[in-house]
Amino acid sequence: MMFGTVSDTEKQIFREAYEFFERHCSPLANGEDGSLEFWESAADDVCTTYDKWLGHPLMSELLTAIYSYLDSKAKERTKELEDFQ
């Protein structure tokens, strides 16, 4: 069942969002050696990727969701969230 067609732009945005995630998929525990560098690199990459797409709303939403997910992974590793204790 088809509901619509994904544009080439949308395909490329999802591909690049995935590539961003792939580059930063393993955040270190907060406070661990190298964690600050990890987050600085991820933030720089978010800005570069976002700017490339001139703030396209789909890319904005995907990057926000991915960055939030990475934050959750880091908090899980440091046992910062009640759910992970």
SS (H, E, C) the chain: CCCCCCCHHHHHHHHHHHHHHHHCCCCCCCCCCCHHHHHHHHHHHHHHHHHHCCCCHHHHHHHHHHHHHHHHHHHHHCCCCHHHC
Residues 43-77: pLDDT tens digits? 999 999 999 999 899 999 999 999 999 999 998 88
Closest listed residue to residue 47, CA positions, set 36, 60, 37: 60
Closest listed residue to residue 56, CA positions, set 18, 5, 16, 2: 16
pLDDT: which is higher, 26 or 1:
26
pTM of the model: 0.84
